């Protein structure tokens, strides 16, 4: 298993600004992911955070809007850029570990854009 | 394109009832199916993971079954308690860690 922490836990931001969310894992993991959960919706994968290379984005998500860093095997950041009210969501970091492709999730960051 | 649906969307039951949550998926080429619990405003807690070669997994009062050929999974909760109130999500994976999530079932257990 893995213990994951995220900072901040919540934030209220103004339209047009950017917010960087941090994800810290208590052990080295190869696979780290970022998900978004819009109000009343289920989770959608934004991207895979690759250590030492650029993130791999899912359809509908682009690097300019959601730049991701992965400087080592225990840490990643997701930036939500030029925010609009539509970006109001819970953003969750997850890691994949073990041979069974099980995923573990952080507590999430609740973002409100006004 | 894989789609995951959960029925019912919401459920309210008196304490002590046994209940079944349903999950269906359109593409049977999955490696794993995982059930999660999400409490309001919080992250996800993994409940049970079933590999495609397995038919069921049990943990305490929870039992999850998988019928891959028909694209269905069920989560059985025995003797429900108010502390079980949460949203339950199922998710499927093709062995890439890229899970596709269902729409969720909001469960409320009344004391």
> Please, which residues bridge with residue A68 across strands?
A78
- Give the residue from A101, A108, A110 with the most B CB atoms within 10 Å of its CB, the best one to mutate: A101
| pLDDT of B104 | 94
The shortest C-alpha distance from B85 to chain A (Å) reads: 17
Backbone angles phi, psi at A90, to 5 degrees: -100, 130
Q: Encode chain B (111 residues) as per-residue pLDDT tens digits.
A: 899 999 999 999 999 999 999 999 999 999 899 999 999 877 889 999 999 899 999 999 999 999 999 999 999 999 999 999 999 999 998 877 789 999 899 999 999
B56-59, strands of its sheet edge to edge: B4-7, B19-25, B72-77, B62-67, B56-59
* Whether the bond into B8 is cis, omega within 30 of 0: yes
Question: What token pair was written down for A54?
Answer: 């650029």
Residues 76-105 of B with CB under 8 A from A: 89, 91, 93, 95-104
To the nearest whole Å, the CA of B78 is away from the closest chain A CA by 24
Q: List, for residues A32-71, the tens digit of each pLDDT value.
A: 999 999 988 889 999 999 888 889 999 999 999 999 999 9
What tokens does B66 get? 């998988």
**Interface touch A107/B95, C-beta < 8 Å:** no
Chain A interface, best mutation among B98, B100, B106, by max A CB count within 10 A: B98
- Residues of chain A neighbouring B49 (CB-CB closer than 8 A): 100, 102
């Amino acid at each position: 298993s893995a213990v994951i922490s995220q900072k901040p836990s919540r934030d209220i931001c103004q339209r047009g600004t950017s917010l960087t969310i941090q994800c810290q894992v208590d052990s080295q993991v190869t696979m780290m992911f970022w998900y978004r959960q819009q109000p009343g919706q289920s989770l959608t994968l934004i991207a895979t955070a690759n250590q030492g290379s650029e993130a791999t984005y899912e359809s509908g998500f682009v690097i300019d809007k959601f730049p991701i860093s992965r400087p080592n095997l225990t840490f990643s950041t997701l930036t939500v850029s030029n925010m609009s009210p539509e970006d109001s969501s819970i953003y969750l970091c997850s890691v994949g570990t073990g041979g069974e492709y099980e995923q573990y999730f952080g507590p999430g960051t609740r973002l409100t854009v006004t | 394109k894989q789609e995951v649906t959960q029925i019912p969307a919401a459920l309210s039951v008196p304490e002590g009832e046994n209940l079944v949550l349903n999950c269906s998926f359109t593409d049977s080429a999955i490696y794993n199916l995982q059930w999660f619990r999400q409490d309001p405003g919080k992250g996800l807690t993994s409940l049970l993971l079933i590999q495609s070669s397995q038919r069921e997994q049990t943990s305490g009062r929870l039992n999850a079954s998988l019928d891959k050929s028909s694209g269905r999974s069920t989560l059985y909760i025995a003797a429900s308690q108010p502390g079980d109130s949460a949203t339950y999500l199922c998710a499927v994976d093709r062995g890439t860690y890229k899970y596709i999530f269902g729409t969720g079932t909001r469960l409320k257990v009344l004391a």
